[in-house]
Structure 1
Amino acid sequence: MSLLLQVLIYMHGAFLDLDELIILCKDRVARKFIQEAAACYKAGAYRSCIIATWNAVVFDFVDKLKNLSESGNGEAEKLLENFDEMSRNSKVRELWQFESNIPNIALNQFEFIAPVEKEDIERLFKDRSRCAHPSMASIDDPFEATAELARYHLRSAVTHLLQRPATQGKAALSRIWNEIRSSNFPKDSDKAIIVLSKGALGRARKSLVKEVILGLTIDLLTNNSFQDERDRQFSALLAVSSMYKVEASEILSDSLSKIISERVEDEYWGNFIEYVCRVNVHDFLDERCHILSREYIANLDSSKLISSGELRIIEMASRIDFLQDMAREKLDGFSMTDLIGLVKVDDRPSEVRSYILGILGERAKASIEKISVYESLDVQSLIVCFEELLVLSEFLSDKDKKMLLELYCSSESIRRHPLSYDLVRRILRHELDKSEYLADYWIVFKENIKLFNDEHSQSLFEVVDEKSNNEF
């Protein structure tokens, strides 16, 4: 590849990079000056590029003051009034002093920039003055603005200041906390991304992102707020972690285990389990967290699991890889009657209810599979299976019901078992209580049992036949 071609490829990449920087600018006027600066750079007019870049910084800074003033910031309003008065009266010296003080004000009064970024903005101002005022450079050794210097200033101006919203630092953090505390803040993380990206967290500095992620994490792990507020906090945390994936991974990888070790007391391990269940942080946890959380589950008092709060912890633990076996072991000690009692509590959280129903479904399936090989079962074991299914009859899936009806029709031994009729009748009653219509498998069942002469089968046939005829 020739040297000329390499240079052209490099310049093409640099131009694309500048065009992307232009899009990042928030203020319309500042964006216009950055476009002008980029055009100067492409034309090789590097002094003009640096001057236009500084002009963009000034207009962006003034625009940020306007935004803060409109939101009631007295300091910003006073600075704007002074700037307007100096502009109207053409006070050149005072205006120059205002411009030279922009880096200091941006850092110390409004925290628009960080200390290290202030140095870059100050360097831009000095180089802008060298470019605009030849008298500041030696006649024998005039100031040379190189392509690298011009591009460095252009990039620094955009990334440090022009792409940021009007609030950063403590003011931005305060605004973010108030936004998340609002009852109107969305609990859906996708919607939360839209809300947060339009505010102070849109193109935020890593320091602000870190404060938000760690602040939410500490509060979620160490405070027992109302669930409604916790749901909003989790939504915000998931949104920020999605907006800044790389930064979030670094922050949590460095700090999460330490926070848990130093701040999470015994009574807050339930919060830890909810956090790990809802936020994908498994890779950031050390072995200590695994051990202590497993001990927490093991030590939960089974008699207190009746409370929806602790049952919810068990349900969430069942979705965490290193806690699944402990959670399941805890609920396996409950009888089916106890579990059914738990699932019928009206204020039970839906996810907990679904989890218990899943366990009941698995137990029902196991009993049906045993009945299907009834010839290998002793009489008592078969009775136990039927009794379990009688208890679980209202929680059977359509697939389970269909399989039981097929077993009833295909096996005379099962059909003649005293509890078999009771089970089918109870399933039918639950079916009729839920709906006016019977599923198709009941029609198939009716056609099969009409050939049987026993009293129980005929009784079932009459009920199903009457109900199915009423549907037409």
Structure 2
Amino acid sequence: MSHLSDMEELLQKISDNSMSVYMKEALQCYSAGAYRGCIVLSSIALFDDCVRKLAEIRHLNKVARRIHDEVTKRQNNQDVYENYLLEQLAANKLISELDSSTAEVIKNRRNKSAHASGHAPSAEEARFIYFEVIDKFLSKKAFSSKVLADEILVRLENRNFFYSSDIRDVKVTVEHETSLLHNDGFPYLLAKLIDNISGADKQLSQNSRYFIDGISCINNEQWNKLLVSQLLEKKLDDTDYSRARACYLRILS
């Protein structure tokens, strides 16, 4: 019964409630020995989750919007969309090569289980699919944080990125922009912001300063540690970074 307790515990890692419902039903199938049902429901959750995550960033990312629009068009026409979805996610680096390979395995296992192929899914197979769907996909809040970070960095060149220089308004903007950004994408974003400050583009430099000010105000513990190591310690004597340092020190005091 240790497998069941592990599988129940894994449900807590799912970031979206609607996906949790699918996986609870998949677990019920597994508990009843309906391994085929566990695999099929887990696969449904995987693809629905991918479409949901595309919808969340379609307004931020042109590629995501294009993929999402095509997928929803195929869904509405009751056309097959899974192959297209996985190919596009991988080709545009929205998921890693490893996750892409895992998704292909899950899709193929689903196909073998859902059709009259003579394949009888085992408990081990169903458990593997269940674990991989949650661990590789449903436990993650969004797609690749680097892609989201790049979108932010591109739009920072816009003169109207910040509608006000008031630190409270800056914080609101930065909170909105980073709401889908996972902690693993922050080091990359911060490094680029710091580089931008000393760059030749004055608008980009200013907006990057404001963005770091906003990050300081958010007061995220993990982000603060990186601000200390990458900004306060490394740029201590660099006058280009005096505003950002001052803002962060003020927040800490």
CA contact (8 A) 2:35 2:121 kept: no
Aligned length: 239
Whether 1:219 aligns to 2:199 is no
Q: 1:54 aligns with which of 31, 35, 43?
A: 43
* Deviation (angstroms), 1:52: 0.8
Equivalent residues in 2 for 1:57-456, closer than 5 Å: 57-66=46-55, 73-85=65-77, 87=78, 95=80, 98-109=81-92, 111-133=93-115, 135=117, 137=119, 142-146=120-124, 148-155=127-134, 156-160=136-140, 163-164=141-142, 169-170=146-147, 173-175=150-152, 178=155, 181-184=161-164, 187-188=167-168, 191=172, 194-196=175-177, 199-201=179-181, 204=182, 206=184, 208-220=185-197, 230-236=209-215, 239=218, 242=220, 245=222, 249=225, 256=230, 269-279=238-248
- What RMSD over aligned residues (CA atoms) do the two structures have, in Å? 4.3
* Deviation (angstroms), 1:115: 1.9
CA contact (8 A) 2:23 2:42 kept: yes
CA distance in 2 between counterparts of 1:45 and 1:227 reads 59
- The TM-score with structure 1 as length reference comes to 0.41
- The TM-score with structure 2 as length reference comes to 0.68
Distance 1:183 1:69, change over 3 A: closer
* Deviation (angstroms), 1:100: 3.0
Partner of 2:94: helix, strand, or coil? Answer: coil
Q: Give the letter aligned to residue 173 of structure 1.
A: D
1:176-220 Cα offsets, whole Å, 9 max, x none, are 6637932258734874674245x432xx372x3232121122223
Q: Give the letter aligned to residue 139 of structure 2.
A: T
Identity %: 14
User: Larger relative contact order (C-alpha < 8 A, sep ≥ 6)?
Assistant: 2
CA distance in 1 between counterparts of 2:207 and 2:83 reads 48
CA contact (8 A) 2:67 2:88 kept: no
CA distance in 2 between counterparts of 1:41 and 1:56 reads 15
Bigger Rg over Cα:
1
Distance 1:250 1:38, change over 3 A: farther
Could you tell me which runs of 5 or more consecutive residues in structure 1 were left unpaired when the two chains were aligned: 1-6, 281-315, 317-472
Q: Give the letter aligned to residue 230 of structure 1.
A: R
CA distance in 2 between counterparts of 1:46 and 1:143 reads 6
Could you tell me which runs of 5 or more consecutive residues in structure 2 were left unpaired when the two chains were aligned: none
Q: Give the letter aligned to residue 167 of structure 2.
A: K
* Deviation (angstroms), 1:149: 1.0
CA contact (8 A) 2:198 2:240 kept: yes
Distance 1:273 1:220, change over 3 A: same
